[in-house]
């Protein structure tokens, strides 16, 4: 599973000035650090403003900063994450058009079911091989294609463990909401892996805003 930064727009200062425009004011970065870096240091009052905005759920200034990711993960992870819609845009590879080699995700260990829970897993693990099942799925898929079956139908035999890729763009506030839910210990472990990578990238790009928005 992999999360790559494609692009981003804005900075912590963008968030600050989106809020200060309400009073027809504008701020600037604090003293430029050694090495000529133009961004990264906010004035104390601007740092306080970001914390105030996040604490009191004034979310609109955080909507002026955005990030675009290219993510690769199993289908079952993607289907959990695509449920987050507000402030986010999603474009995914389609097996209606793509019929190249299928990649399937297989964990090193399988977590056992949690006791007294309808969902989730325990910390206890076991070994279990699904190699033969995976081989059957991939071979049957190729057999269907070779028989002239349309890719949009042949894909029906592929499991949820199939790796997929998508571009995911959205506002800083929207991704903070995703991570506040999906980085939690009760989220599925594989989904946490993706959310943690998103969080690490966002924190590097927007350190003040991300710290204020995250429930950590």
Question: Known catalytic residues?
Answer: 182
SS3 188: coil
CA distance 138 to 87: 36
Q: Kindly provide the b/e burial profile for residues 127-138, where b requires at least 16 CB atoms within 10 angstroms of the residue's own CB.
A: eeeeeeebeebb
Angle in degrees, CA 49, 41, 6, rounded to 5: 95
- On whether the CB atoms of residues 93 and 163 are closer than 8 A, the answer is no
**Structure token pair of residue 196:** 């943690």
CA distance 138 to 99: 11
Q: At what angle do helices 189-205 and 172-182 cross, to 10 degrees?
A: 140
SS3 per residue for 36-85: CCCCCCCCHHHHHHHHHHHHCCCCHHHHHCEEEEEEEEEHHHHHHHCCCC
């Amino acid at each position: 599973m992999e999360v790559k930064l494609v692009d981003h727009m804005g900075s912590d200062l963008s968030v600050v000035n989106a809020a200060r425009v309400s009073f027809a004011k504008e701020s600037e970065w604090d003293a430029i650090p050694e090495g000529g870096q133009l961004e990264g240091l906010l004035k104390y009052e601007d740092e306080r403003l970001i914390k105030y905005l996040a604490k009191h759920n004034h979310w609109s200034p955080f909507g002026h900063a955005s990030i675009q990711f290219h993510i690769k993960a199993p289908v079952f992870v993607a289907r959990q994450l695509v449920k987050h819609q507000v402030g986010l845009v999603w474009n995914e590879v389609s097996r209606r058009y793509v019929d190249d080699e299928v990649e399937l995700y297989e964990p090193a260990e399988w977590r056992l079911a949690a006791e007294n829970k309808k969902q989730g897993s325990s910390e206890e693990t076991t070994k279990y091989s699904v190699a033969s099942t995976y081989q059957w799925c991939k071979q049957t898929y190729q057999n269907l294609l070779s028989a002239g079956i349309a890719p949009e139908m042949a894909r029906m035999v592929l499991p949820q463990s199939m790796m997929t890729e998508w571009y995911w763009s959205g506002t800083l506030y929207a991704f903070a909401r995703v991570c506040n839910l999906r980085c939690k210990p009760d989220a599925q472990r594989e989904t946490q892996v993706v959310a943690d990578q998103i969080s690490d990238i966002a924190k590097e790009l927007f350190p003040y805003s991300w710290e204020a928005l995250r429930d950590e």
